[in-house]
């Protein structure tokens, strides 16, 4: 009688980016390593039937069973990251001068503010802004003036801020 469970080594952890809204589709987990002292086949499965994973970390549990019915488990993680959206807001002039920490930047989708979830993101002293953890999709970049004493966006600037250096 064999009471020794098989050995299961999970595939390497997986890190991917969103490719369909706030999910990653077509994620490939890999195949676990298996061994056993009992003759016969070692079968395996995992608790994730889908190849689609949500933003964040999901733990996948792999289970192996040997021909004698002894089980063993191992875990793997799938981490889905959002993208980083960054750029520089510049005046629409010949020099494309950065707006120098005078604007707030927001990402909107379908008429709804998506990023940041609360508060605002202000440009740096060089006009740079950055959002992290952004789900894939199309967004409108909206800017608004701040209460900065070093300048503000006037109607001429607002009408001409159509140059976006988005990374």
pLDDT tens digits for range 119-151:
778 777 777 888 888 888 888 888 776 544 444
Q: Which two tokens stand for residue 128?
A: 């740079």
Q: How far is CA 104 from CA 57, 100, 122, 158, in A?
A: 31, 11, 4, 12
Q: What value does the mean pLDDT take over residues 63-67? A: 95
DSSP annotation of 125: T
Predicted local confidence at residue 158, as pLDDT:
44
Question: In this model, does residue 157 exceed pLDDT 60?
Answer: no
What is the sign of the dihedral through the CA atoms of 16, 20, 23 and 26? negative
Does residue 116 surpass a pLDDT of 70? yes
Give pLDDT, residue 120.
Answer: 76
State the pLDDT at residue 64.
Answer: 97
Give the model confidence (pLDDT) of 77-112 as tens digits.
999 999 888 887 776 666 767 666 567 888 888 888
How many whole angstroms separate alpha carbon 158 and alpha carbon 135? 27
Which residues, 6+ apart, have CB-to-CB distance to 155 below 8 Å? none
What confidence score (pLDDT) does residue 145 get? 67
User: Using CA atoms, how far apart are residues 89 and 97, in angstroms rounded to an integer?
Assistant: 9
Percent of the chain with pLDDT over 90: 44
- The predicted pLDDT at position 163 comes to 40
| Contact status, residue 103 vs residue 145, Cβ threshold 8 Å | yes
């Amino acid at each position: 009688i064999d009471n020794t469970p098989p050995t299961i080594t999970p595939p390497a952890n997986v890190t991917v980016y969103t490719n369909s809204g706030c999910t990653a589709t077509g994620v490939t987990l890999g195949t676990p390593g298996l061994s056993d002292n009992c003759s016969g086949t070692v079968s395996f499965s995992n608790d994730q039937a889908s190849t689609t994973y949500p933003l964040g970390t999901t733990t996948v549990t792999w289970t192996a069973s040997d021909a004698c019915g002894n089980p063993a488990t191992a875990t793997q993680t799938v981490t889905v990251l959002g993208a980083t959206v960054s750029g520089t807001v510049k005046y629409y002039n010949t020099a494309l001068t950065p707006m120098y920490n005078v604007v707030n930047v927001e990402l909107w989708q379908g008429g709804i503010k998506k990023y940041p979830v609360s508060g605002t993101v202000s440009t740096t002293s060089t006009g740079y802004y950055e959002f992290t953890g952004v789900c894939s999709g199309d967004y409108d970049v909206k800017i608004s003036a701040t209460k900065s004493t070093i300048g503000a966006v006037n109607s001429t600037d607002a009408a001409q801020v159509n140059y976006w250096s988005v990374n």
